[in-house]
Amino acid sequence: MSSETLTPLPSLSILIPTLNAGPLFADVLARLRSQRYPSTPELLIIDSGSTDQTLTIARQHNATIHQIPKKTFDHGLTRNMGIERSTGDIVVLMTQDALPADDFLLQNLVAAFEDPLVAGAFARQLPRPDADAIVARNIHNWVAGSEKPRISHITDRPAYDRLGPIEKYLFCVFDNVTSALRRSAWQQIPFHQNAFGEDIEWSKRALESGWKIAYRPDAAVIHSHDRPIAYEYKRNYMCHQTLYRLFGVQTLPARRHLPRAILLGTLKDTLYALRHQKPLAKKLALAAKIPFLTFYASLAQYQGAHDAKHNQSTRHTDV
């Protein structure tokens, strides 16, 4: 492994893959352009077939646009292509709906690279104001929702190798909703082809090569979703397929565990929603939705890990 010492003001590129980003995209780019960073970052858009105003908005903000066929998009390889076309010492990776929470997102994220062994840093995620109580709770309980900064670094490889699947997974967390990479680290460890989970797979390889991964809660974006149940199933399926492949994680190792997980999860989330969701109409709507969400989330956790364990092909690749 090699490392480099950055100048006090590293050059910066921002890379955003897009597909029909919608009206929020204008706010995302406006907030990026208003960031208090000492130099103007390069802005690159990799678009895979937008038919709305995404490209018009990108041009209004002087972005460099690269267009690719939708069928060629890959979470890992498309990001590699964008980074190859960028010039910054640090490359910030964002999703099209990650809204900077303030004017210091870039400055605080890049500050992590003052440590020459930091290969990547990722930002905190805050729920949108209209997020339901369960979505908001899940974000706050997630590593990328924590208020506490952290740095992951393997200083004792045998101890790291002894970590259990969940412990190792949490140690390696990295999130490309908003992250930043040191170019020299990426040159050594580019992304692999990945339909899902390119970020944590990259982080695992970077950590195991001796680099550090930083989490910066002072760099924050507003990002959450109220997705359809069918989408949540697909996303959970692919997530747990990836987690089994990388770490051996099986939250529900056998089908017989499903009834208990569904029952307890439904009860826990329903009680939480009844206590915390407002107003009454939203409280009742969320309580009615929870049994279906819990059923399909639990089934996806089981099925994704099961299929990965038995080397069955990925069923869902459109998330």
The domain segmentation of the chain, as residue ranges, is 12-222, 229-309
Which class is 12-222 in CATH?
alpha beta
How far apart CA 118 and CA 126 sit, in angstroms, is: 24
pLDDT tens digits along 66-96? 999 999 999 999 999 999 999 999 999 999 9
Lowest-pLDDT range, 120-134, 248-262, 302-316? Answer: 302-316
**Secondary structure string (H, E, C) spanning 254-268:** CHHHHHHHHHHHHHH
> Quick one: tokens of 147?
């208020």
Angle between helical axes of 258-276 and 280-309 (0-180°, round to 10): 150
Q: CB–CB of 229/294 below 8 Å?
A: no
pLDDT in the model for residue 227: 87
In whole angstroms, what separates CA 51 from the centre of its chain? 25
Alpha-carbon distances of 148 from 116, 151, 202, rounded to whole Å:
21, 10, 23
* Model pTM score: 0.93
Report the mean per-residue pLDDT for the chain: 95
How far apart CA 57 and CA 10 sit, in angstroms, is: 27
How far apart CA 236 and CA 200 sit, in angstroms, is: 15
